[in-house]
Amino acid sequence: MACATHWTPAYDSDRYQHMEGETPVTHTNTSTAPFPILGTLTPGTTQRHMVALPGAALADDRWPVTSICGVRPGPVIFINGGIHGGEYPGIETVIRLGMMLDPQELAGTVVLMPVVNLPGFRKRSIFVSPVDEVNPNRVFPGDPAGSYSEQLVSALMNEFIAHADLYIDLHGGDIVEALVPFSICRQADSPADRKALENARVFGLPYLLTVDRPIQPAKGSMSFVAAAERGIAGFIAEAGSIGQLDEDSVQLLLNGVFRVLRHNGMIQTTVPSVPEPTLLTAFEWIYCEYGGMFYPAVSLDDEVKEGQSLGRIGTLFGEIIEEVTSPLAGRVLFVTTSPSMADHGLLMGIVVAE
């Protein structure tokens, strides 16, 4: 059944006002081409692009991209959603940013790609691209001669991320996943990593995880790691759960983006403040050994003790064949919400605060 929905922008005149005494600057800038694939971007304009990405496997698709080129010079920020096609609050956030950002009040350039993984979005695939059954966020920086997902992230890296001063990759709980909102960036001491950590703090989600090793064994790395290795500050921000488009999660992500834009001098508006995020220093993914029905014994955001039961795995005859316990004390950051488990299936993630 079709229905109409109403949403209240996070960036409107009732909630975000120009700071007292400030007047928007209106001098013009010269034409610019920070992203060669988009051609010339005219200051003071919003442009919509249907982009053909390089790569033989990508030839049949065109990616919607919006560029907002401010009237004043400033940083260049690239923001995408939909690396995982079922994480809808991030996708919706990028769509709304394209309608809400005013180039007449913007310093610098913001480029937006709502959905990276178009096949996954269309097919409602969980985590992977249905073309090659590969998780795009485990094969960065990609390979221009590789599989569909490898060509896709290679094009994303070379045509967009590499040309930005800051990269924000928006995610959330996929169709079978519930999570507590958090950001994640690389734990290292390069200028790009320090800048990523600074901006992830400013974004303002409740938890901020820094990692210095791969989260899962994979052929490649994740988006923010590959960005850092190219000298580009980047981080992931996650909000939303179980493939739902909920307004609270969209507002969290919108507000975070506006905080970052203000922090970088790109907009002259006040944004509601939030508490400093809780820093997380360890992240353990918990797997079962046997497939079957998963019966969790803990809930999202619960504190757990080392050795505590996290849940059980049962057969389709009703026999309990596995008791899963926590290898560490921490907090439940995400949970797989589907009871159906394959052998060695992912159950949840446990984090440890600093």
Tens of pLDDT, residue by residue over 25-81, are 333 344 678 999 999 999 999 999 999 999 999 999 999 999 999 999 999 999 999
- Among candidate residues 218, 255, 212, 253, the one with its CA nearest the CA of residue 236: 253
pLDDT higher than threshold 80 for residue 14: no
Q: pLDDT value at position 218?
A: 73
- Average pLDDT, whole number, for the chain? 91
Q: What are phi and psi of 134, to 5 degrees?
A: -115, 140
Q: Which of 276, 292, 316 is the last residue of a domain?
A: 276
Distance between CA atoms of 332 and 225, rounded to whole angstroms?
Answer: 24
pLDDT higher than threshold 90 for residue 5: no
Burial status of residue 302 (CB atoms within 10 A of its CB: 0-12, 13-18, 19 or more): middle
Tell me the average pLDDT across 207-213: 91
With cut-offs at 50, 70 and 90, classify the pLDDT of residue 135: very high
Q: Are residues 205 and 318 in the same domain?
A: no
At 346, which helix (H) or strand (E)?
strand 346-353
- For residue 297, count other CB atoms closer than 10 A to its CB: 15
pLDDT higher than threshold 80 for residue 15: no
For tokens 């992931």, what's the residue? 236
**Residues ≥6 apart with Cβ < 8 Å to 60:** none
| pTM for the full predicted model | 0.90
Distance between CA atoms of 345 and 95, rounded to whole angstroms?
Answer: 33
231: tokens are 């000298």
pLDDT higher than threshold 70 for residue 342: yes
pLDDT higher than threshold 60 for residue 134: yes
28 inside domain: no
Q: pLDDT value at position 214?
A: 73
Tell me the average pLDDT across 102-111: 98
Q: pLDDT value at position 31?
A: 61
4 inside domain: no
Q: Are residues 204 and 271 in the same domain?
A: yes
199 compared with 14, residue with greater pLDDT: 199
Q: Are residues 253 and 347 in the same domain?
A: no
pLDDT higher than threshold 70 for residue 12: no
Q: Are residues 287 and 264 in the same domain?
A: no
Percent of the chain with pLDDT over 90: 86
71 inside domain: yes
For 218-239, what is each residue's pLDDT tens digit?
Answer: 788 999 999 999 999 999 999 9
With cut-offs at 50, 70 and 90, classify the pLDDT of residue 11: very low
Q: Which of 251, 276, 301 is the last residue of a domain?
A: 276
Note down the domain range covering 309.
282-353
Q: pLDDT value at position 33?
A: 82
pLDDT higher than threshold 50 for residue 24: no
Tell me the average pLDDT across 321-339: 97
At 298, which CATH number? 2.40.50.100
29 inside domain: no
Q: Are residues 104 and 212 in the same domain?
A: yes
Q: Decide: 317 and 328 in contact? Cβ < 8 Å.
A: no
Indicate the number of domains in the chain: 2
pLDDT higher than threshold 60 for residue 152: yes
Q: pLDDT value at position 9?
A: 33
pLDDT higher than threshold 80 for residue 7: no
Distance between CA atoms of 347 and 354, rounded to whole angstroms?
Answer: 23
Q: Are residues 254 and 286 in the same domain?
A: no
Q: Are residues 97 and 230 in the same domain?
A: yes
Q: pLDDT value at position 297?
A: 98
At 192, which CATH number? 3.40.630.10
